[in-house]
Amino acid sequence: MKTLIKLFAVVTLAFTVQLSMGQISGTKHDFSTKGWNPSGEICIVCHTPHNAITGAEPLWNHELSTATYTVYSSSTMDATPGQPNGNSKLCLSCHDGTVAIDNFGGATGGSQFIGGNKNLGTDLSNDHPISFTYDAALAGTDGGLFDPTTTNSGLGGTITADMLFANEMQCASCHDVHDDTNGDFLVMSNAASALCLTCHNK
Amino acid sequence: MIPLKIKLTLLLLVPAWLFSQSIVTTVHNLSVSGPGTIKAVSESEICIFCHTPHNSSPSGPLWNRSDPGLNFTFYNSTTTEATIGQPDGASLLCLSCHDGTIALGSVLSRPAIIDFTAGITMMPVGNTNLTTDISDDHPVSFIYNSALAAADGELVDPVNLQWPVVLQNGKMQCTACHDPHTNIYTDFLVVTTQYSNLCNECHVKDYWLSSSHRNSNAGWNGSGNDPWFHTPFSTVSENACENCHNPHNAGRNQRLLNYLAEENNCLDCHNGNVASEDIKVQLNKPYNHNVYNYNLTHDASESALVLTKHVECEDCHNPHAARNLSASAPDVQGFNVGTIGINLSGGAVDPVQYEYEICFRCHADSPDKPASPTTRQIEQNNVRFEFDLSSPSFHPVAGPGTNPDVPSLIAPLTESSMIYCTDCHASDGTGSPAGPHGSVYPQILKFNYSTADYTVESYQAYELCYQCHDRSVIINPNGNEFQQDVHYTHIVEEDAPCNACHDPHGISSSQGNSTNNTHLINFDISIVRPIQQNKLRFEDQGSFAGRCYLRCHGKGHNPKSYN
């Protein structure tokens, strides 16, 4: 019996470690089995080791959107979101619905477009704001935000270190495109609104 | 290393309100971890009941709920200058739960309604369910700008509003008073309502700073209705506005009063249970200003001249102004300051300067005013005419009297003294509160005043008159001819009441004159009759001299003179 429990514990631990490390394989971002991706490669839809699109990192391989977006605004917001930039532009190269998913590797004229709730469109006013500077000053002005430079993200370091990109809030602040452990590719579980309350002092 | 047990103990020492700054520990945490009784069965996300990060509704910040319909019955009042319509902005967001028409668990980001415990779907009936009739709640969704403040006259100019009281796009919304995420002061208020601090952020009521309703530290003795049923506070000053007003689910919509019946807003305190004087017991006396008799006739916007007969406490009192501050006749006393009235010329005044101006609201030029109880030779029910300084004689209510020689006056009264209406018309009984609330005597007189013919003279019979006019002087059988032949003969020997010859208010100059109607002479014609057809009169012949033409008690004067 004791041996059985030990075995069970080891198996459970191993399973947990694998899950927590996360992997894109098998998630909705794994397009290796799609007919429009005859290479069967996973990474290729977004990345390429050579001849990547310049100005878009890392090693970007998907056609970028040229859309101009309607950005979020609110009378109670002290941040000033601009047009999406940084890694949010990469997400929107599929998720604004203007560029075919299969427009990668230099291909254009694809036919696969994102649908449903995942198509944010070019009107981002009904989506959480992105591409704005979130620093101690903003937190001080807003009063309803934690200071990102001193507040623990729950991911090991501060919010600034773990969740911001050049001090800016981006899609990747909440989403890890390579890991769907928490569902919706969230960087952490949102049970008890833990993700929201990492930044929002409500 | 601090042992865990001590750590936990230290944690308990931290005041609870520190935690209540987070929505997590408030009843707005509707998730399974919420502290309230209205909560989800298993949904763990807290923000989701209002917010979603994607595909939100444009109605609010990343809004995750449907809007309620725009079929609200909204606040209106005869005294508001604001233009109030259907709720919008943040208020509409609050109402998506608090109007009770949309399931609490109905959110845009979930395909099915989130289950709540105990089978709850909509906001349960109670104080937090405002319903779609929000006319009994503080108005929201109106433009609050400098022009409104100027037009109203009792509102802070919104450019001077102090955080955390904020407007949304220039409009007053629920969020001016409530922060749905933070519950430091209970009810998610942004500022405490103790001493009405929150109300005072916007409302600046005339006279309020010196009002007893702001400053009294009186408490409730525990008897009768709880006067502060909707607050956690226990003194008049702490309750302040909320002594009478209820910002939600008010008993009377207009002006958000606790109760529909006007007087009930006063009498939960003015019954001896909070205020020291029991006005309620006075109002239950047989002769009273019957505030119970009228409902919703009085209106705060009404004209100073009362056109539809009624009486309510606030016809004579301004609850924002009333204070315990004595004055000398004719100046208005503290209890009545800040009220509107009619002056001696018949014009409206706001506020009154003299107490009688309050009485003139109803007892002067008003239609349907009470009639004199005595049938007199000269009939006049407009007391403004009776007390006018042009009258041949009058009790000195609006100005000193005309008679320069009144030996019966009891010091410190002199011929130049003035008196209040309420010196005669007031609650009876030693130690009774001032003012004409109620009396066992007709005409709400403070003391007995017998008017029936053949009243046997006694101090008690004319106790009212004898308060100022010395009985031993008036009816001195050994006094001068006037005292003997006029007053002693008539009052003591003939058992004639004072009221038979004297009209205590005065005689209007439009009807009387300085020959026949000095000394308040205006005969009660049910007692005093003409000696011949149309021959009924008194003629003043100078100091303590005169003659009468009349028939009374079977005797004729044609004339009878004294000097």
DSSP structure class, residue B535: B
Cβ proximity of B258 and B405 under 8 Å: no
Mean pLDDT, to the nearest integer, of B176-200? 97
Contact between B55 and A126 using a beta-carbon 8 Å cutoff = yes
- Average pLDDT for A23-49: 95
Flag if B53 and A174 touch (Cβ within 8 Å). yes
Which band of pLDDT confidence, cut at 50, 70 and 90, is reported for residue B238? very high
How close, in Å, is residue B4 to chain A by CA atoms?
22
The Cα–Cα gap between B339 and B332 comes to 9
pLDDT in tens, B157-171: 999 999 999 999 999
Nearest by CB to residue B54, choosing from A76, A128, A197, is A128
What number of other Cβ atoms are within 10 A of residue A132's Cβ?
20
Q: What is the pLDDT of residue A7?
A: 45
Cβ within 8 Å, pair A75-B48 = no
Collect all residues with Cβ–Cβ distance below 8 Å to A6 and sequence separation of at least 6.
none
Secondary structure letter of residue B6 according to DSSP: H
Residues of A in contact with B46 (CB under 8 A): 192-193, 196-197
Q: How much is the pLDDT for B19?
A: 42
Tell me the shortest Cα–Cα distance from A102 to chain B, in angstroms. Answer: 24
**What does the pLDDT read at residue B437?**
98
Q: Which of A126, A192, A202 sits opposite B56 (nearest CB)?
A: A126
How far apart CA B351 and CA B205 sit, in angstroms, is 14
Work out the pLDDT band at B443, boundaries 50, 70, 90: very high
CA distances from A93 to A27, A168, A177 (A): 19, 19, 13
pLDDT band at B13 (very low <50, low <70, confident <90, very high): very low
Q: Which helix (H) or strand (E) holds B13?
A: helix B4-13
Q: State the best of B45, B50, B93, B167 to mutate against chain A, taking most chain A CBs within 10 Å.
A: B45
Phi-psi region of B69 (alpha: psi -120 to 50; beta: other; left: phi over 0): beta
Question: What is the structure's pLDDT at B483?
Answer: 79
Q: Give the span between the Cα atoms of B207 and B556, in whole angstroms.
A: 59
Q: Reply yes or no on whether the pLDDT at A21 is more than 90.
A: no
Q: How confident is the model at residue A5 (pLDDT cuts 50, 70, 90)?
A: low
- The ipTM assigned to this model is 0.86
Residue B14 pLDDT exceeds 70: no
B422: pLDDT strictly greater than 50: yes
Does A193 have pLDDT greater than 50? yes
Residue of B nearest to A193 (CA): B45
The pLDDT, as a whole number, for residue A105 is 94
Residue of B nearest to A77 (CA): B61
Residue B7 and residue B14 in contact, taking contact as beta carbons nearer than 8 Å: no
Q: Is A125 on the interface with B (CB under 8 A)?
A: yes
Torsion of CA B67, B69, B70, B71, to 10 degrees: -150
Hey, are the CB atoms on B58 and A126 less than 8 Å from each other? yes
> Band of the pLDDT at B484, cuts 50, 70, 90?
confident
State pLDDT tens for residues A47-67: 999 999 988 878 999 999 999
Residue A39 CB contacts under 8 Å (≥ 6 apart), including other chains: none
Contacts of B61 in chain A (CB under 8 A): 74, 76-77
Helix, strand, or coil here: B484? Answer: helix
CB atoms A76 and B182 under 8 Å: no
Judging contacts by C-beta atoms under 8 Å, the chain B residues touching residue A76 are: 61, 168
CA–CA–CA angle A198, A201, A202 (5° rounding): 120
Positive or negative: CA dihedral B82, B87, B90, B94: positive
